[in-house]
């Protein structure tokens, strides 16, 4: 099979130019005399990659100077465990707004030393909406408020009606899991205390996570934690407290550079609008053959879950899609059905191909 349009949720599609560059660099990197994966992370070649990657991330995301950028090993889930350790003291209240699977996962990472307040949850309606900001029960002296900017499985994203770019949490720092929507639009980072994103959706390969943190928050005592779990120690050691995942870091750097070359976050904002509109319009105009249940005001532009009216045709849909060169469409086991993840690396043409296939499938099975 040739390279297909890949709608996988993560690990996800990478731009072909990035993969080709990586293929070339796999054998020999510049004048290093070895592959990028074979050289020391502390050598001048890799240090240059690391520095350029940080500079490019700062440009792409317009990171203010009073924010640190960390490149840490592990996934977003790891940060869900480290964030409370670093930013909340024992006995403090932490506020969480739960709008889907990943918001719930974050709760599981909290230690008993903290007092959890679920300030709002849309679980009762099957995570098809986002609770209105006026209905959030925030705690005045909470250590932080945690939200999930885009729920990758449920397909729910904070959109303008919800105070996008960020809900107002007054003086309490806002911590946001941006794993599946980072760099899909310009965001005003100054509205956030911490933004974190596992790389394998929009930023590159799995195994590395970008954490952007307002520097003053790093002065907080937090809870007792191992040195390896200390964000300040990571910052003081250039995110190299131990051997970092150099290959992933380098690939992330290539992907970020590609996004800059393509026109940056405002261009991906435009494309995300176009791609998601194409797909939701096709679903909504299918006369009920396809269905998406999310409140249209908070429908995700990155992950579009949908269901066939006749679920007995799911396998036929997936195998037909595969034959049409469209892969990765099977829904998450939590929800079933289908899901099309249309991150930055997915071209408009890929979504058009999916929409064409969906129409064809409906015409022959309707
Ligand atoms: C994928 C994802 C995660 C989990 O990432 P891991 O790398 O598996 O830890 C967390 N939050 C969101 C929003 C995600 O999309």
- Specify whether 30 is located in the same domain as 105: yes
Categorize the per-residue pLDDT at 270 as very low, low, confident or very high, splitting at 50, 70 and 90: very high
Check residue 77 and give its pLDDT.
98
Q: How far apart are CA 317 and CA 86, in angstroms?
A: 46
Q: How far is CA 336 from CA 7, 160, 197, 306, 325, in A?
A: 15, 28, 25, 9, 21
16 and 337 Cβ atoms separated by less than 8 Å? no
- Specify whether 166 is located in the same domain as 24: yes
The number of beta carbons lying within 10 Å of the beta carbon of residue 22 is: 19
Does 163 score more than 80 pLDDT? no
154 CB under 6 A from ligand 1?
Answer: no
* Whether the bond into 190 is cis, omega within 30 of 0: no
Residue among 136, 204, 106, 160 nearest 299 (CA): 160
Q: Is residue 4 part of a domain?
A: no
Categorize the per-residue pLDDT at 366 as very low, low, confident or very high, splitting at 50, 70 and 90: confident
Query: 């429908």: which residue's tokens?
Result: 299
8 CB under 6 A from ligand 1?
Answer: no
72, 101, 102, 344, best to mutate for ligand 1 pocket (most atoms within 8 Å of CB): 102
At which of 224, 244, 262 does a domain end? 262
Neighbouring-strand partners of residue 93: 115
CATH assignment at residue 109: 3.40.640.10
- Specify whether 252 is located in the same domain as 276: no
- Specify whether 241 is located in the same domain as 280: no
Residue among 184, 251, 345, 250 nearest 45 (CA): 250
Q: Is residue 2 part of a domain?
A: no
The alpha carbon of 197 and the centre of ligand 1 are apart by a number of angstroms equal to 8
Ligand 1 nearest-atom number relative to CA 178: 13
Q: Is residue 234 part of a domain?
A: yes
8, 11, 77, best to mutate for ligand 1 pocket (most atoms within 8 Å of CB): 77
Q: Is residue 9 part of a domain?
A: no
At which of 262, 283, 318 does a domain end? 262
CATH assignment at residue 356: 3.90.1150.10
Q: DSSP string of 262-319?
A: HTHHHHHHHHHHHHHHHHHHHHHTSTTSEE--S-GGGB-SSEEEEEESSGGGHHHHHH
Check residue 109 and give its pLDDT.
97
- Specify whether 227 is located in the same domain as 280: no
Check residue 2 and give its pLDDT.
82
Q: Is residue 296 part of a domain?
A: yes
Residue among 350, 360, 362, 351 nearest 290 (CA): 362
Check residue 162 and give its pLDDT.
72
- Specify whether 92 is located in the same domain as 120: yes
Does 44 score more than 90 pLDDT? yes
Positions marked catalytic: 102, 177, 201
Neighbouring-strand partners of residue 330: 338
Residue 251 CB burial class (10 angstroms; 0-12, 13-18, ≥19)? buried
- Specify whether 178 is located in the same domain as 80: yes
Residue span of the structural domain in which 233 resides: 17-262
Q: Locate 297 and state its tokens.
A: 């005001």
In total, how many domains does the chain have?
Answer: 2
Check residue 160 and give its pLDDT.
79
Q: How far apart are CA 317 and CA 163, in angstroms?
A: 37
Does 164 score more than 80 pLDDT? no
85 and 109 Cβ atoms separated by less than 8 Å? no
Residue among 257, 275, 303, 248 nearest 10 (CA): 303
Does 19 score more than 70 pLDDT? yes
The dihedral region occupied by 10, where left means phi > 0, alpha psi between -120 and 50, and beta the remainder, is left
Q: Is residue 10 part of a domain?
A: no
- Specify whether 230 is located in the same domain as 281: no
Check residue 195 and give its pLDDT.
98
- Specify whether 257 is located in the same domain as 273: no
Residue 303 among known ligand-binding residues? no
Q: Is residue 11 part of a domain?
A: no
Categorize the per-residue pLDDT at 166 as very low, low, confident or very high, splitting at 50, 70 and 90: confident
- Specify whether 187 is located in the same domain as 336: no
How does the average pLDDT of the chain come out, rounded? 96
Q: What is the pLDDT of residues 277-304, one digit of tens each?
A: 999 999 999 999 999 999 999 999 999 9
CA 327 to the chain's CA centroid = 20
At which of 207, 236, 262 does a domain end? 262
Q: Is residue 1 part of a domain?
A: no
pLDDT mean over 23-49: 93
Does 98 score more than 80 pLDDT? yes
With vertex at residue 149, the alpha carbon angle to CA 183 and CA 135, rounded to the nearest 5 degrees, is: 150
- Specify whether 347 is located in the same domain as 311: yes
Check residue 172 and give its pLDDT.
97
The number of beta carbons lying within 10 Å of the beta carbon of residue 332 is: 16
């Amino acid at each position: 099979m040739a390279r297909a349009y890949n709608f996988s949720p993560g690990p996800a599609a990478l731009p072909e130019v990035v993969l080709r560059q990586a293929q070339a660099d796999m054998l020999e990197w510049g004048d290093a005399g070895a592959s990028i994966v074979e050289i020391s992370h502390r050598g001048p070649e890799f240090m240059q990659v690391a520095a350029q990657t940080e500079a490019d991330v700062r440009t792409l995301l317009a990171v203010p100077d009073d924010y640190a950028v960390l490149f840490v090993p592990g996934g977003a889930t790891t940060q869900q465990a480290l964030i409370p350790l670093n930013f909340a003291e024992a006995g403090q209240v932490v506020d969480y707004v739960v709008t889907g699977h990943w918001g719930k996962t974050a709760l599981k990472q909290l230690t008993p030393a903290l007092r959890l307040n679920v300030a709002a949850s849309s679980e009762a309606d099957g995570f098809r909406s986002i609770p209105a900001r006026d209905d959030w029960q925030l705690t005045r002296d909470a250590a932080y408020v945690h939200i999930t900017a885009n729920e990758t499985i449920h397909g729910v994203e904070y959109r303008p009606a919800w105070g996008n770019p960020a809900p107002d949490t007054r003086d309490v720092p806002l911590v946001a899991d941006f794993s599946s929507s980072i760099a899909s639009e310009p965001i005003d980072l100054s509205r956030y205390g911490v933004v974190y994103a596992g790389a394998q959706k929009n930023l590159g390969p799995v195994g590395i996570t970008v954490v952007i943190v307002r520097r003053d928050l790093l002065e907080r005592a937090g809870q007792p934690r191992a040195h390896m779990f200390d964000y300040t120690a990571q910052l003081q050691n250039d995110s190299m407290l131990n051997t970092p995942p150099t290959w992933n870091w380098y690939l992330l750097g290539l992907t970020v550079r590609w996004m800059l070359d393509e026109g940056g976050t405002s261009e991906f904002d435009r494309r995300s609008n176009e791609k998601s509109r194409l797909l939701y319009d096709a679903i909504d105009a299918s006369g009920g053959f396809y269905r998406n249940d999310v409140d249209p005001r908070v429908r995700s532009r990155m992950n579009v879950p949908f269901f066939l009216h006749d679920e007995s045709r799911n396998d036929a849909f997936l195998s037909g899609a595969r034959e049409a060169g469209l892969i990765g469409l099977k829904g998450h086991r939590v929800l079933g059905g289908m899901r099309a993840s249309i991150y930055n690396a997915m071209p408009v043409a890929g979504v058009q191909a999916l929409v064409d296939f969906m129409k064809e499938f409906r015409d022959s099975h309707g």
